């Protein structure tokens, strides 16, 4: 989708869109429109669109009014995005090729106008390339958006937002691609392509190198798959030289069958998005790199496929992690923590980060706890937890904190090894977090985000179509902007 900024209404755009604050139809609006909006009970409610026809500039135009709610709302930016997204939802496949978004009479700041455009752009993302039999009226038609009369500063505001949009879209792409297309090696290849020439530095570990480092936990998970496992690190050094980086770490299980502890058939296809944490970390790194964030950040993803073949690890196997700690693998379906523990340990040894935040589709239990409204947050440090919660609220990727502590920790003690990879049925998301906590060095602030409920949506949402949401990218971007760049 092309976005242009202009001061004059383009003659070629038949579709004319405007945003409307709650209860305030734009001045000078024709009486027929006012009456029509009234009849349709359109008052500028967030995300509502009223459609009509008007004559403007000597042409009949299709007019769409998108509601943005109360101007004083604390959710102002999110509401503006929702209005933009609602326009896309309505017109992306409508036959219209161009849309003129007229904000000239609207009092929007540059940041606010950019938020509407962000909503338009994010809601447009989709992956149609495997659909060879799309009917004409199912095809995307909307190609260009002309933003008319935006205030000064819009180009800079949009440049920043556009980088973040690219990051969110990259995450959605990685998450949406099926597991025969995105597997550990091709995940790395796609990142190499996408980061080429951006200034980010990529470090890849293959199985031989991970063997050498002693990553028995991660390698054990990949052992039943024909596909090789990898670790990928993406570094962006936009901050001061020598300053310790912030580290983001992601779970990248490109397909999770459960291994020998095989999952039931129905719904197993969902496990193509068990790399949603890694996808979010890669997308966030792209956003930070593209907007040249003034911070040192490293994103590390552990990439494996969890399959049950003759070489697969068995329930009861004991593996040794890179940290030296041993693990009794009682359930091969609790594989995410096995991947993360080696990725987390290596990240600390290799990059000496000042803090770590990990993202993982780690437990089904977090979906039972929090549904699909919040990701689950766990942390060994209150300040970091507070900052992540704040960044979540501001960005719309909202988190909710759950407890950790010694009483939960002892639930994963093992009679044969240092720990087992599953606790009892109770508190499943917390014992998973406790497992990870055992691999964080004393004094390193660490937060764990269990995003199993947030990566995929069966229905269209605020700024996404049904499918991959891109959750986590905007949270990481916001965290860096608010707490690492200043």
Query: Which residues of the chain form contacts with Mn ion (CB under 5 A)?
Result: 256, 333, 335
Q: Which two tokens stand for residue 170?
A: 């990259």
Q: Shortest approach of Mn ion to residue 433 CB, angstroms?
A: 15
350 catalytically annotated? no
Pattern of binders to ligand BES over 268-297, x per CB under 6 A?
------x-----------------------
> Strand 144-148's sheet: what is its strand order?
2-6, 144-148, 98-102, 15-21, 59-69, 49-56
Q: Which residue is nearest to Zn ion (CB)?
A: 256
Rounded CA Rg of the chain: 24
Angle between helices 76-91 and 110-124 (to 10 degrees): 40
d(CA 86, CA 92): 10
Residues 421-480 that bind ligand BES (CB under 6 A): 422, 428, 452
d(CA 353, CA 444): 8
Kindly state the number of chain residues that form the binding site for ligand BES, as judged by CB under 6 A.
14
Reference 271, options 343, 333, 329, 330; nearest CA is 333
Residue written as token pair 């991947």: 339
Q: Indicate which of Zn ion, Mn ion, ligand BES, none lies near residue 313 (CB less than 5 to 8 Å, by partner kind).
A: none
Residue pair 344/353 in contact by the 8 Å Cβ criterion: no
Q: Shortest approach of Mn ion to residue 128 CB, angstroms?
A: 30
Q: Which of 172, 337, 394, 474 is catalytic?
A: 337
Q: Shortest approach of ligand BES to residue 260 CB, angstroms?
A: 12
Q: Which residues of 206-240 are buried (b: 16+ CB within 10 A; e: fewer)?
A: ebeebeebbbbbbbbbbbbbebbbbbbbbbbbbbe
Q: Shortest approach of Mn ion to residue 328 CB, angstroms?
A: 16
End-to-end Cα distance, the chain: 33
Q: Which of 263, 294, 393, 438 is catalytic?
A: 263
Q: Is 339 in the site for Zn ion (CB under 5 A)?
A: no
d(CA 241, CA 3): 36
Q: Indicate which of Zn ion, ligand BES, Mn ion, none lies near residue 397 (CB less than 5 to 8 Å, by partner kind).
A: none
Any binding-site annotation on 335? yes
> Strand 317-320's sheet: what is its strand order?
317-320, 326-329, 419-420
Q: Is 450 in the site for Zn ion (CB under 5 A)?
A: no
Q: Is 364 in the site for ligand BES (CB under 6 A)?
A: yes
Cα–Cα–Cα angle for 88, 32, 44, nearest 5°?
Answer: 40
| Cα torsion angle, 173, 176, 182, 183, sign | positive
Query: Which of 250, 336 has the CB closer to Zn ion?
Result: 336
Q: Shortest approach of Zn ion to residue 436 CB, angstroms?
A: 14
Q: Is 436 in the site for Zn ion (CB under 5 A)?
A: no
Q: Indicate which of Zn ion, ligand BES, Mn ion, none lies near residue 428 (CB less than 5 to 8 Å, by partner kind).
A: ligand BES
Q: Indicate which of ligand BES, Mn ion, Zn ion, none lies near residue 363 (CB less than 5 to 8 Å, by partner kind).
A: ligand BES
Query: Which of 332, 348 has the CB closer to Mn ion?
Result: 332
Residue pair 66/48 in contact by the 8 Å Cβ criterion: yes
Burial class (CB in 10 A: 0-12, 13-18, 19+), 31: exposed
Q: Which residue is nearest to ligand BES (CB)?
A: 364
Q: Is 186 in the site for ligand BES (CB under 6 A)?
A: no
d(CA 46, CA 384): 32
Pattern of binders to Zn ion over 232-271, x per CB under 5 A?
---------------------x--x---------------
Residue pair 78/124 in contact by the 8 Å Cβ criterion: no
Residue pair 402/390 in contact by the 8 Å Cβ criterion: no
Kindly state the number of chain residues that form the binding site for Zn ion, as judged by CB under 5 A.
4
Any binding-site annotation on 256? yes
Which of 51, 102, 173, 274 binds Zn ion (CB under 5 A)? It is 274
Q: Which two tokens stand for residue 253?
A: 């299980």
Any binding-site annotation on 102? no
Length of the chain: 486
Query: Which of 232, 360 has the CB closer to ligand BES?
Result: 360
Q: Shortest approach of ligand BES to residue 424 CB, angstroms?
A: 10
263 catalytically annotated? yes
Any binding-site annotation on 387? no
Q: Shortest approach of ligand BES to residue 365 CB, angstroms?
A: 6
Q: Shortest approach of Zn ion to residue 360 CB, angstroms?
A: 8
Any binding-site annotation on 251? yes
| Cα torsion angle, 480, 481, 483, 486, sign | positive
Pattern of binders to ligand BES over 314-353, x per CB under 6 A?
-----------------x-xxxx-----------------
Q: Indicate which of ligand BES, Zn ion, Mn ion, none lies near residue 339 (CB less than 5 to 8 Å, by partner kind).
A: none
Reference 255, options 305, 311, 313, 190; nearest CA is 305
Q: How would you classify residue 57: left for phi > 0, otherwise alpha for psi between -120 and 50, otherwise beta?
A: left
**Which residues are near Zn ion by CB under 5 A?**
253, 256, 274, 336
**Which residues are near ligand BES by CB under 6 A?**
256, 274, 331, 333-336, 361, 363-365, 422, 428, 452
- Catalytic amino acids? 263, 337
Residue stretches of the annotated binding site for Mn(2+): 251, 256, 274, 333, 335
């Amino acid at each position: 989708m092309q976005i242009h900024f202009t001061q004059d209404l383009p003659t070629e755009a038949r579709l004319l869109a405007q945003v409307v604050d709650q209860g305030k139809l734009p001045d000078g609006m024709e009486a027929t429109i006012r009456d029509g909006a009234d009849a349709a009970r359109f008052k500028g409610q967030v995300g509502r669109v009223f459609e009509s026809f008007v004559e403007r500039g000597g042409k009949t135009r299709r007019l769409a009014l998108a509601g943005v709610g109360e101007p004083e709302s604390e959710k102002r930016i999110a509401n503006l995005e929702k209005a933009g997204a609602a326009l896309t939802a309505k017109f992306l496949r409508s036959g219209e090729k161009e849309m003129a978004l007229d904000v000239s009479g609207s009092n929007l700041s540059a940041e606010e106008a950019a938020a509407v455009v962000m909503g338009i752009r994010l809601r447009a993302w989709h992956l149609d390339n495997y659909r060879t039999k799309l009917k004409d009226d199912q095809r995307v038609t909307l190609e260009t958006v002309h933003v008319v009369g935006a205030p000064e500063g819009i180009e800079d505001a949009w440049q920043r937002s556009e980088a973040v949009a690219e990051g969110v879209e990259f995450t959605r792409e990685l998450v949406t691609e099926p597991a025969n297309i995105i597997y550990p090696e091709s995940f790395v290849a796609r990142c190499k392509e996408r980061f080429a020439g951006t200034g980010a530095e990529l470090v890849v570990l293959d199985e031989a190198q991970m063997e050498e480092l002693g990553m028995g936990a991660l390698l054990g998970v990949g052992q039943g798959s024909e596909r090789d496992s990898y670790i990928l690190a993406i570094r962006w050094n936009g901050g001061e030289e020598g300053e310790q980086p912030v580290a983001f770490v992601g779970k990248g299980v490109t397909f999770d069958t459960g291994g020998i502890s095989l999952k039931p058939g129905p719904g197993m296809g969902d496990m193509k998005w068990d790399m949603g944490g890694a996808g979010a970390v890669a997308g966030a790194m792209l956003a930070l790199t593209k907007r040249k964030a003034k911070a040192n950040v490293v994103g590390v993803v552990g990439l494996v496929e969890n399959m049950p073949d003759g070489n697969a690890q068995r329930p009861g196997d004991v593996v040794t992690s890179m940290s030296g700690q041993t693990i009794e693998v009682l359930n091969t379906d609790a594989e995410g923590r096995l991947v993360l523990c080696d990725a987390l340990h290596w990240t600390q040894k290799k990059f000496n980060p000042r803090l770590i935040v990990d993202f993982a589709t780690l437990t089904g239990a977090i979906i039972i706890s929090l549904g699909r409204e919040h990701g689950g947050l766990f942390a060994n440090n209150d300040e970091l937890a507070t900052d992540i919660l704040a960044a979540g609220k501001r960005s719309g990727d909202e988190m909710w904190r759950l407890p950790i502590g010694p009483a939960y920790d002892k639930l994963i003690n093992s009679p044969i090894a240092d720990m087992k990879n599953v606790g009892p049925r109770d508190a499943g998301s917390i014992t998973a977090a406790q497992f990870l906590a055992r691999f964080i060095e004393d004094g390193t602030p660490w937060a764990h985000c269990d995003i199993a409920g947030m990566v995929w949506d069966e229905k269209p949402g605020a700024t996404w179509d049904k499918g991959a949401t891109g959750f986590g990218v905007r949270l990481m971007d916001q965290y860096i902007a608010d707490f690492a760049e200043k």
